[in-house]
Structure 1
């Protein structure tokens, strides 16, 4: 009797939020079913912000995007969840956000609402909010000014012509979901990003016990640096500035790997981004040695995918790289 050898599918934990995270998740589900996304719930703008204020619930936007990225459902269902109303009182609101809000009302619990919504979408893996506490981001700018609210930080930074010095969350040290901590303990690789540095990635590291759990895990820990800078958030940042911000908000021994792009962006696409105040995040000649002194290995590769003039990470090649790192752990 012969037995078919099952493919090893590593347990991948991804921490962050925003578009970058959801794009990565779409790639990862092609290589493993064992995916856990720990997602920020500190945003307060757009449709999510409206629901947060009107219904007193946690913002569902980033959670919705991650669930859709991992969904295994009919194309019509995906279109339905992505649909944004164009007129009336619901203008700008997505059906997916309203659906999660309805589930939250039915179950009276955001965690249960996410689990049940995940079941409806038949997602690969699991999606957890970073906390169930009602948190908001605060930023201290280099000129000393304090800014409260995720949607105001980049605006005020640009207005004040002062970079972000430090971010914090209120209330301080919110509690994580036990399932999120457990997933970190069991992970074969832990990934931070890609996503907005100060408003999508770092807030997760400010949740109680998250950093300690990551450091204690024997799994490799990798940070994926954004391809482009973000106006009002990471202006003029190179790779090292991104990494240092992560370490300054966590611990010096948090990371084993930093993954950064080396591929040039076509001029016609780049011009649009430069006009909006965004430039490629560059690797400096000394970065590899500087990171090595911190115990971090730099992985530099061609990792971008351009569709309809939008620059994104190549989620398939990036996922292959992450799975290889997971499989190479001792």
Structure 2
């Protein structure tokens, strides 16, 4: 009689998002023995990223750069150089991060931004995979509750109006093509053990990835546990008055199915008068906790004090969140 040998494998975790929240979670997860894949939004049209996007017709490189910086295994001194941003008095280079220029150069050299990012990831000894959600810049569109519509992430954010729903199109949509993710993104989603959404701006960092047509379908089909990291603060003009359940409902409504299996929710309270509202003028109030409403959306609430107070603002404790993500990934499969 022979006994079976159980082979332990690394959990495959896909983190989908953009902005400052995604690198924070990836940095926490990097401490664990997991196979990480970052899927990154490509709708940013502001700042250095927006300028390079418009001039070179490439995906905005900023979010890719920040993810690459935390997933890389090169020296901290090298990362400091990669993240260096030119001073505002530097004329044509003003405001550009060096890493953005490097990513733009790789896109031009390879004549393919996706391949350029993969080669640069190898050169920077990235532990895991970094995949832009599309191989071309996408335009974000929003319809507001008052019936009006706007295009462009920066304009939508600046409008400070209540959003009904969003969608994306290729920047060059003259042929009315639909946005599509590369096969690597779809395969990562379908083969994942766990998919993490957020944290980050619901309508401008998280959902722009999920409404790409083949990503939406892959999320419906994947056997992976899908986890949403609920935001700590509402975002002015985007999610004013939203509870955690409202965020989940918006995700499920955009997908057309209750895909979220669990919601990681912060129980720590932001002290009154702690936040510098002028410095962090995009935030509004602390997100209302509603675990029972989350259950009605088909998701399991997973709670903990995940609050980190720093720089006069309220943020997730990346290490604490990563620990919960790993506990879910290695727990019993209930999906």
Say whether the fold is shared (TM-score over 0.5). Answer: yes
Relative to the length of structure 1, the TM-score reads: 0.91
Structure with the bigger percentage of helix: 1
- Matches for 1:59-70 after TM superposition, within 5 Å: 59-70=60-71
Quote how far apart the aligned CAs of 1:301 are. 1.4
Residue 287 of structure 2 aligns to a residue in which SS? Answer: coil
Q: Return the alpha-carbon distance in structure 2 between the equivalents of residues 273 and 195 of structure 1.
A: 19
Residue 279 of structure 1 aligns to a residue in which SS? Answer: strand
Quote how far apart the aligned CAs of 1:253 are. 2.0
1:54 corresponds to 2:58: no
Choose from 167, 181, 185 the match for 1:180. Answer: 185
Q: Cα gap change, 1:274/1:108 in structure 2, threshold over 3 Å: closer, same or farther?
A: closer
Contact 1:133 / 1:175 at 8 angstroms: preserved in 2? no
The residue aligned with 2:3 is none
Name the count of aligned residue pairs. 319
- Matches for 1:30-179 after TM superposition, within 5 Å: 30-86=31-87, 87-156=90-159, 158=160, 162-171=161-170, 173-179=178-184
Residue 318 of structure 1 aligns to a residue in which SS? Answer: helix
Q: Cα gap change, 1:56/1:314 in structure 2, threshold over 3 Å: closer, same or farther?
A: same
Q: Return the alpha-carbon distance in structure 2 between the equivalents of residues 274 and 163 of structure 1.
A: 23
Quote how far apart the aligned CAs of 1:247 are. 1.1
The residue aligned with 1:201 is 206
Q: Cα gap change, 1:18/1:274 in structure 2, threshold over 3 Å: closer, same or farther?
A: closer
Q: Cα gap change, 1:85/1:302 in structure 2, threshold over 3 Å: closer, same or farther?
A: same
Contact 2:249 / 2:297 at 8 angstroms: preserved in 1? no
Contact 1:20 / 1:194 at 8 angstroms: preserved in 2? yes
Quote how far apart the aligned CAs of 1:211 are. 2.3
Q: Return the alpha-carbon distance in structure 1 between the equivalents of residues 240 and 258 of structure 2.
A: 26
Structure 2: 5+ residue stretches without partners: 1-5, 171-176
Residue 294 of structure 2 aligns to a residue in which SS? Answer: helix
Q: Cα gap change, 1:128/1:204 in structure 2, threshold over 3 Å: closer, same or farther?
A: same
Relative to the length of structure 2, the TM-score reads: 0.90
Q: Cα gap change, 1:299/1:173 in structure 2, threshold over 3 Å: closer, same or farther?
A: farther
Q: Where does structure 1 differ by over 4 angstroms across 4 or more consecutive aligned residues? A: 5-8
1:265 corresponds to 2:273: no
Q: Cα gap change, 1:308/1:293 in structure 2, threshold over 3 Å: closer, same or farther?
A: closer
Quote how far apart the aligned CAs of 1:290 are. 2.7
Contact 1:229 / 1:237 at 8 angstroms: preserved in 2? yes
